[in-house]
Amino acid sequence: MQMHLLRSALRRRPDFECFSCAMDESEILQTLKNEKIAVALLSFGTCRSDESMLSIIRRTHLTFPRMPIVVLHEHRSDSVLMDALRVGARGLFSFGKLPFRMLCRCIQRVHDGEAWLSHNEVRHLLDAVAQSPPLRVVNAKGSDLLSPREEQVVALVAEGLSNRKIANELQLSEHTVKKYMFRIFDKLGISTRVELVLYAVSHGHTVGAERVPAPLFNSSAT
């Protein structure tokens, strides 16, 4: 019933064109293949297991890596939602906490290349980073892509420090920190601090540079 009402509401919006299908992996992939979908909304309700939900998100992301995915969720644990981000989601939206108009804003933000996370989800994301192994990115020959200083900057960004506080911590100018940030973004193929945090959560270990994903979003949401 909730999904029926959601489809009806979206179809009444002149700025949206809505296609729907059953929450079946093969049907989702077929719909994304046949239609010109800009943003995929995946709603799992409470009937699917966490493992099934994550499997569908992962498969959708691997098949359509540039397709922004928003997960509509209710009563999922914080750890599962963080796993949803790890396997490809770029937005998390709870109907129990936010009205329909905010979903429309979420869709537009994610379509424009941003991420959509609540303040609470951002906090849990930062906590996950704090518990992750240090980030080290190497190229195909095993050489480090980030310098030791750049790795320090990444660690401080993951702790939630602003450029000014990072500059104070490392005894650098704020301008120098900004230059480090631009270089880090360029090397990792990303463009924002939130994307860097997400990358650190997903790759808190040595990984090959060829596995660095293309940029999928540009800034944090709410």
Number of domains in the chain: 2
Distance of CA 115 to the CA centre of its chain: 6
Residues 29, 109 within the same domain? yes
pLDDT in tens, 6-45: 888 888 988 898 988 888 889 999 999 999 899 999 987 7
Place of tokens 């429309």: 104
pLDDT in tens, 97-149: 888 899 999 999 999 988 898 888 888 777 766 665 555 555 555 566 788 88
Question: DSSP letters along 55-84, please?
Answer: HHHHHHHHHSTTS-EEEEESS--HHHHHHH
Residues 50, 7 within the same domain? yes
Residues 64, 156 within the same domain? no
Q: Give every CB contact of residue 205 below 8 A, 6+ residues apart in sequence.
A: 133, 136
- What is the SS3 assignment for 54? helix
Place of tokens 């709870």: 94
* pTM exceeds cut of 0.85: no
Residues 117, 76 within the same domain? yes
**Domain-located, residue 221:** no
Domain that holds residue 178: 132-209
**pLDDT at residue number 30:** 92
Angle at 112 between CA 107 and CA 113, to 5 degrees: 100
Residues 15, 98 within the same domain? yes
Residues 48, 122 within the same domain? yes
Residues 202, 177 within the same domain? yes
Among the candidates 58, 93, 126, a domain finishes at 126
**Domain-located, residue 182:** yes
Residues 94, 201 within the same domain? no
Q: Kind of pairing, strands 91-94 and 69-73? A: parallel
